[in-house]
Amino acid sequence: MNILKAKFKIHGGVHPKYRKELARDEETKRLPLPDILRISTTQHLGAPSKPVVKKGDYVKKYQLLAEAAGFISAPVHSPASGTIKDIVTGTGASGAPVTEIILETNNTSDAELTGVYPTDEWQKLSPETILNRIREAGVVGAGGAGFPTYVKLSPPPDKKIETLIINGAECEPYLTADYRLMLEHPECLIAGIQIICKVLNVTEAYIAIEDNKPEAIELLSKYLEDKKIENIKVSTLPTYYPQGAEKQQIYSITGREVPSGGLPADVGVLVENTGTTVAIYNAVIKDLPFIERTTTVSGYGIETPSNVIAPIGTPYQELIDFCGGAKDDVKKIISGGPMMGFAQATAETTTTKTTSGLLLLTAKEISQFESSPCISCGRCIAACPMNLMPAELSQFCEAEDFESAAANRVMDCMECGCCAFSCPAHRPLVQHFRTAKAFLRAQPKK
Ligand code: SF4
Ligand code: SF4
């Protein structure tokens, strides 16, 4: 039997309205190539990549646009052939300034593409060659964090990885891109998992899926059975948020607790996102750089909720138009999921390798109430999967007493939003913690 139930229950968590039915059953569609792409050099965690093209250059599809600028960084490639119109400072989804390469695209024949070297014989490639392909393809964590995958797959020699977990939980409400990917491309996902197993010399892998996705569980289980693949199992998780968080998923499946300030490698585990695993497959077997991704465009404010494959650098407005346009009563646009995503002031921001969702929410979907003082109900404490004291932490942050916030483990906050979701006073808890963490990260290390 290749379906196992996760054995351990995580602390805290919440049950938001999932609303996955909006886009879940629609087959993934491809966006026609936009005329203009604005490609950010901040597509990942770490140093922004450094442009290697200039205004007026003609570039071919897959050509390098910006090179990695350090160990924790990743290159960015052109999603289409065309002319570089400019390189400017724009605004990223988080509101931070970013460098954008503006590309006027043209649809060219495949003969004009830069050389790619697919291989059916990836098993013959050495782990070093595979890792190089992943690094050169600019693969980063597609789940949201954007950590460069090459770095993640290179743990220090004293941290032996024994267990690989592929995160197919997709626990954020509305988002269904990973779900569609599991249904539509199981062969790419499984090949991607086998590639990671080879790089890490791991023999045991789990695909973690919440039990609200029975079709994906059944399909992948049958695929593994038909292909007689025994080292990969499907692990079903109870449906609640944040079941897809790395530390929580590791605990649910293995019972191992990642120490405060530690990494999954400290307990011999590596967690990789479903979309990232398929990007690894594309990089290694097809020799294709990471130039496009599937984004869920959803919410009651969009005419036709859908999962859309779009090139990186696509303006959000193009996605909205492709999905039938916005309805009149849209009150909020969110990049990502509603729990961890970023509210957008305009639809002019562009997609990156980490744009998992674009949500257009109406008044009935968003909180109607203004924030009010804390009533000490303790609900945020019960909801916090990291066993933090959000109410107290937020008071330290409001008083700008970041030292006390640090002493009370604000850096362990994973910004999952469970506390804010539970708070009857609608306290802006996550914003407080983001501010404190940014302040503390900017301090010189003692
Ligand atoms: S956002 Fe941070 S403090 Fe709030 S529940 Fe999540 S981990 Fe806990
Ligand atoms: S849930 Fe909100 S009101 Fe209740 S203790 Fe936490 S911060 Fe205060």
Pick the residue whose CA is nearest to atom 4 on ligand 2.
377
Nearest residue (CA) to ligand 1, atom 4: 419
State the pairing for strand pair 64-67/306-311: unpaired
Closest CA to 10 of 207, 170, 247: 247
Q: What are phi and psi of 222, to 5 degrees?
A: -65, -40
CATH class label, 3-24+117-285: alpha beta
Ligand 2 lined by 391 (C-beta under 6 Å): yes
Q: Which amino acid is at 361?
A: L
In this structure, are residues 280 and 139 in contact, taking their beta carbons and an 8 Å threshold?
Answer: yes
The DSSP annotation for 301-335 comes to TBSS-EEEEEETT-BHHHHHHHTT-B-TTEEEEEE
Beta-strand runs (E) in 216-264: 232-237
| Distance from the alpha carbon of residue 79 to the mean position of ligand 1, in angstroms | 36
Tokens found for residue 420 = 């804010």
Distance 391 CA to ligand 2 centre (A): 6
Closest ligand to residue 387's CA = 1
Q: What is the pLDDT of residue 109?
A: 61
Q: Which residues line ligand 1 (CB under 6 A)?
A: 383-384, 386, 388, 390, 413-419, 429-430, 433
Q: Looking at the CA of 395, name the nearest ligand.
A: 2
- Spatial neighbors of 354 by CB under 8 A, at least 6 apart, are 43, 44, 140, 141, 142, 143, 144, 145, 146, 336
Strands 50-51 and 306-311: unpaired
- Which pLDDT belongs to residue 364? 84
Retrieve residue 225's tokens.
């059975």
Q: At what angle do helices 186-200 and 274-285 cross, to 10 degrees?
A: 80
Q: What is the pTM of this model?
A: 0.90
| Domain spans of the chain, in order of start | 3-24+117-285, 379-442
Residue from 413, 421, 423 to probe ligand 2 pocket by mutation (most atoms less than 8 Å from CB): 423
Distance 406 CA to ligand 2 centre (A): 20
Q: Is 372 in the pocket of ligand 2 (CB under 6 A)?
A: no
For atom 2 of ligand 2, the residue with the nearest CA is: 423
Ligand 1 centre from 386 Cα, in Å?
A: 7
What is the CA(423)–ligand 2 centre distance, in A? 5
Indicate the top mutation candidate among 429, 434, 435 to test ligand 1's pocket, ranked by most ligand atoms within 8 A of CB.
Answer: 429
The two beta strands, 357-362 and 292-298, are: parallel
- Pairing status of strand 232-237 against strand 204-210: parallel
Q: Which residues pair with 38 in a beta bridge?
A: 102
Considering only CA atoms, which residue is closest to atom 7 of ligand 1? 413
397 lines ligand 2 (CB under 6 A): no
Burial of 309 (C-beta count, 10 Å sphere; 0-12/13-18/19+): middle
Q: In a mutational test of the pocket of ligand 1, which residue from 397, 430, 432 has the highest number of ligand atoms less than 8 Å from its CB? A: 430
pLDDT at residue 396, rounded to an integer: 94
Q: Both ends of the chain: CA-CA distance in Å? A: 51
Report the C-alpha gap between 105 and 34 in whole angstroms: 7
Q: What are the φ/ψ torsions at residue 234 (nearest 5 degrees)?
A: -95, 130
Residue 366, Cα to own-chain centre: how many angstroms? 22
H/E stretch holding 390 reads helix 390-398
In a mutational test of the pocket of ligand 1, which residue from 11, 247, 340, 384 has the highest number of ligand atoms less than 8 Å from its CB? 384
Of the candidates 339, 426, 445, the residue with the CA atom closest to the CA atom of residue 385:
339
Interval between CA 166 and ligand 1 midpoint (Å): 23
Residue 7, classed as helix, strand or coil, is: coil
Name the stretches of the chain with pLDDT < 70. 109-116, 367-370, 445-446
Q: Select from 427, 430, 432, 433 the residue to mutate for testing ligand 2; criterion: most ligand atoms less than 8 Å from CB.
A: 427
Closest ligand 1 atom to Cα of 384: 5
Which of 64-72's residues contact partners 24+ apart within 8 Å by CB, and which partners? 65/39, 65/101, 65/103, 66/41, 66/101, 68/135, 68/138, 68/148, 70/46, 71/46, 71/151, 72/45, 72/46, 72/47, 72/147, 72/148, 72/151
